[in-house]
Amino acid sequence: MRSISKRLFGLAAGITVTALMTSGLSAASARTHTQRLACGDGSYNAEATLSGGTWTARNGSTTDYTGTSMLSAMQAAVNSLTAGRTAKQRVVVRGSGSMSAGSRLSLPSYTVLDVCGTVNVTGSGSGDQAVVYARNVRDIEVQHLNVTGAPLYGIFVRNGTNITLGQIDLRLSSGLGIRVDNHGDRSVRTRNVRIDNVYVSGTSTHGVETYGLDGLTVGTVVARNVGHSGLLLNDTINATVSVVDAQNAGAGTGYAAFRMANRNGRIGSGYPTNIRVGQVIARGGGRGVFCVSESGGAVIDRVDLAQTGGNAILIENCYNVNIAAQSGTVTGPGDIRLAARSEFPNTSDIVIQNLRVTNSAITENPCGVNTTFRNNTLTNSRQSIC
């Protein structure tokens, strides 16, 4: 294996231990989130570097590409890794450049990508093109990635196992930030996905979206001015999320800072608690927290929701959901509503508790099954529950 050694990784900037502990992580877990590997440091197998206006891809002493295309250099570096490998090999990209929205960097299994620069996406495209694309893969990592412009997707992963996304910064003008799903073969869930820290802004649709996952760990999703949800979980089970922090997510729509839909949290025919969220913060936008379409099995420890254009919290045809298990604030005009559509089983086993509700309302209509409202303090707010 051709390999180049670099100095050991140091610490990189990240969210603080104190902030993560506030969101519910233990001190040990919080430290692992802050001990980031500095971009480009450490050992790697191939690299793509920019010097002047020329990109060069190298693997050891072999030059695999020289030219003006950032994408061609990155793909050449990835393609130079050992064929048929069963252990991860790493590519480091040093420099910034552009690529077309109608193209993508494809990662095969056992690939680690570390992009130390910014990829600006120009033009237009269709389908599932993405800055980073992976399908039917296992054991891939994107350690750092900064994207600007208008991709269809910043990162798109379909049907994979052991997927790790590290420090991802997406400052876009359209498109979807990150989507991880199983829609190539829906009979097989995408498994064991870890997303450490995402900053995403300017999308025309969701910031981060999952569909058909089993095993998801998310550190923080910071969403600013995204077209739809900040974080959307569809048909995803066994998920832990530390923090969703959204401003102006889904303005003028029914989407939310944090949304669960399409039987999210359903295991077999039931809803055991398997979706755990530390904190949801929402300012402005559409809704704050939205659970819909036979989803549930969720506990959200803390909420901090204010000035939402729609409901601050909407629970519609969901089951076994505990909102503000530890504490929370809701400031209007958005209200808290339990609802149900007739085409699905009625909402049941919902707990709304520990909230300071200001300039808002709590409404249950129609009456749910086994709903609980407790320890809520209302200021200039009304309550209509069964």
Q: Give the separation between CA 109 and CA 140, rounded to whole angstroms.
A: 6
Kindly give the confidence (pLDDT) of every residue in the chain, 386 residues in length, as a single tens digit, with 9 standing for 90 and above. Answer: 444 333 223 323 333 333 444 344 444 444 444 456 799 999 999 999 999 999 999 999 999 999 999 999 999 999 999 999 999 999 999 999 999 999 999 999 999 999 999 999 999 999 999 999 999 999 999 999 999 999 999 999 999 999 999 999 999 999 999 999 999 999 999 999 999 999 999 999 999 999 999 999 999 999 999 999 999 999 999 999 999 999 999 999 999 999 999 999 999 999 999 999 999 999 999 999 999 999 999 999 999 999 999 999 999 999 999 999 999 999 999 999 999 999 999 999 999 999 999 999 999 999 999 999 999 999 999 999 99
Q: Identify the CA nearest to 264 among candidates 339, 330, 195, 209.
A: 209
The answer to pTM > 0.75 is yes
How many Cβ atoms sit within 10 Å of the Cβ of residue 283?
A: 18
Q: Identify the CA nearest to 339 among candidates 307, 364, 303.
A: 364
| Backbone angles phi and psi of 7, in degrees to 5 | -65, 160
Rounded to 10 degrees, the C-alpha dihedral 328/331/333/334 comes to: -10
Helix (H) or strand (E) holding 224: strand 213-224
What domains, with CATH codes, occur in the chain? 17-384 (2.160.20)
Task: Report yes or no: 288 and 305 within 8 Å, Cβ to Cβ.
Answer: yes
Cβ neighbours for 343, distance < 8 A, ≥ 6 positions apart: none
Strand bridging mode 46-51 / 89-94: parallel
Q: Give the separation between CA 356 and CA 125, rounded to whole angstroms.
A: 46
